[in-house]
Homo-oligomer: A and B are copies of this chain.
Amino acid sequence: MKELRQITVIGLGLLGGSISLAAMRSLPQVKVAGYSHRPSTRRKAKKLAPGLKIFNDLKASVVSADLVILATPICTFEAMFKEIADVLPHSCIVTDVGSTKVLPHKWAEKTLPETIFYVGSHPISGSEQRGVEFARDDLFVQSLCIVTKTNKTDKESLQTVATFWSTLGCDVKFMSPKQHDKILASVSHLPHIAAAAMINTENINDLKFAGKGFMDTSRIASGPANIWADIFFTNTANCVACIDKLITELNKFKKAIKSKDKKQIEKLLQQARNKRGAFIEYKLKRKELIT
């Protein structure tokens, strides 16, 4: 496994800020550097994490890095890779925390030199909040992190990235980028689309009468629109397939309700209830923090 002397985090939002804080706490012997193009973010990050070495120049921030972590919106990755490609030190490891993985792998392969080792990461943590002010050094404790690899991925770098996330508190799972994007479309991107579409049907006056059910069902739709637009934009085929599946399931409800088939309505509801019950039981057993 590669020894890490410096880690550079590109982008200091909720995730990038939390990675910086968590790395400083868990790896006190490692120098942690951060880059943000926004002066206001750099100021806030300086206050929040006085030990963090903050850069206003992207290239300068990575020249001495052993591990570079991109924590900016997915659609910026390709340009970032291009910009840093020439200045990254030999055998530097590059990863990112994007919520889709097929395109980041493709961009890295196309853009980064062979002396640079790319591995994909997706820590399944975060919230509907945005900005470094919501960063927490315990954001990754007892949460899942999917690390993605292809047959071209360097094994030592893969192990280094996996160990990095474990050190921050994550339970690491390995997957191909393709498998990742298919599964995440289903368990993360679809719930987001469903929540947003549901809100978009609502009349704001009617929402005065909404309760806790609506509150929870709609929570994720308060997430940053640009970040999520990038996610769907980089996972189109899987998202479309999931939307189609959802429409199929909605039509089952519609048919049962329209024909006043109470048994069938109850059957569809019970099916959902049982599946969610199994999900909760699995997560509780693994002591994953999901509440």
A residues with a Cβ closer than 8 A to B are: 75, 124-125, 127, 143-144, 146, 173, 183-184, 186-188, 190-204, 206-226, 228-230, 232-233, 236, 239-240, 242-254, 257-258, 260, 262, 265-266, 268-273, 275-280, 282-283, 290-291
Given the interface pairs A201-B186, A217-B194, A273-B223, the reply to whether A211 lies near B143 with Cβ below 8 Å is yes
Residues of B within 8 A of A218 (CB): 191, 272, 276, 279
Number of copies: 2
Determine which of B75, B191, B278 lies in contact with A204 in the assembled complex, contact meaning CB atoms within 8 Å. Answer: B278
| Chief secondary structure at chain A's binding surface | helix
Given contacts A186-B203, A199-B272, 16 further A-B contacts (CB under 8 A): A75-B262, A124-B209, A144-B211, A184-B209, A186-B201, A194-B250, A197-B252, A201-B246, A204-B275, A204-B278, A212-B290, A216-B220, A232-B253, A233-B257, A243-B251, A247-B250
**Does the CB pair A240–B260 fall under 8 Å?**
no
Chain B contacts of A230 at CB under 8 A? Answer: 262
Interface centre among A183, A208, A265, A290 (most CB of B within 10 A): A265
Q: How far is B190's CA from A250's CA once the two chains are assembled, in angstroms?
A: 10
Residue on B nearest A212 in the bound complex, by CB: B290
A253 engages B243 (CB within 8 Å): yes
A225 and B258 contact, Cβ closer than 8 Å, known pairs A275-B199, A279-B204: no
Contact B190 A210 (CB under 8 A): no
CB distance from A137 to the nearest CB of B (A): 18
Residues of B within 8 A of A247 (CB): 247, 250-251
A sample of 10 inter-chain contacts (CB < 8 A) reads: A124-B211, A186-B201, A194-B250, A197-B249, A207-B282, A216-B220, A221-B269, A225-B269, A228-B265, A243-B253
- Distance A253 CA – B280 CA, assembled complex (angstroms): 29
The closest CB in chain B to the CB of A264 belongs to B229
CB < 8 Å neighbour of A186 from B193, B206, B212, B269: B206
Beta-carbon contact of B273 and A209 below 8 Å: no
| A272 pairs with B217, CB closer than 8 A | no
* Known A187-B207, A252-B197, A257-B240: A272·B213 in contact at CB below 8 Å: no
Q: Are B225 and A243 neighbours in the complex by a CB distance under 8 Å? A: no
Assess the B279–A246 pair: CB atoms within 8 A: no
**Pairwise interchain contact A243-B232, C-beta atoms closer than 8 A:** no
Distance in Å: Cβ of A276 to nearest Cβ of chain B: 5
Residue numbers in B under 8 Å from A275 (CB-CB): 199-200, 202, 204, 207
Q: Are B183 and A233 in contact (CB under 8 A)?
A: no
Q: Is the CB of B262 within 8 A of A193?
A: no
Inside 8 A of A215's CB, which chain B residues have their CB?
Answer: 280, 283, 290-291
